[in-house]
Amino acid sequence: MYRILALSQDKDLYAGVRDFLGDSSDIEIKTFTNSLDFLEKFSSLHTELVILDIDLLNEQVLKLINILQSIKRNSQVILILSKDKMGICSAAFSLGVVSYLIKPVSTKNVYDVISTTLQKQINRV
């Protein structure tokens, strides 16, 4: 079972990804809109991948990535952002972000990035 935690207000997008994966998938996606709830779950659950919406966090995303890395070194992080947040995205890559998507994103785009990231993780083991 692969667990993905997403911090985003776009719950419909992740519901669509869950539908796209189907019931037989071994991928579980949990979505949060509150950073504290997100961090609590991240620290208590084994998580393979994190998706952060920069538009929800703005500059705080950099602090959050540092916290995630201090809890679990080498955390896999994907960012979703608007074009006007590219400056923050560039800074985040130096903290270990593995990929990003620029809004608007589709269910298929998110699925493809998740699949690619998890496949790279599987191949490293």
Indicate the pTM of the whole model. 0.92
What residues contact 10, with CB distance under 8 A and at least 6 apart? 53
- CA gap 83, 37 in Å, rounded: 27
**Tens digits of residue pLDDT in 51-98:** 999 999 999 999 999 999 999 988 899 999 999 999 998 889 889 899
pLDDT digits over 99-108, tens only?
999 999 999 9
Query: What confidence score (pLDDT) does residue 75 get?
Result: 87
Q: Give residue 119's pLDDT band: very low, low, confident or very high (50, 70, 90).
A: confident
Q: Do residues 34 and 64 lie in contact, with contact meaning Cβ atoms separated by under 8 Å?
A: no
Q: Which domains does the chain have, with CATH numbers?
A: 2-124 (3.40.50.2300)
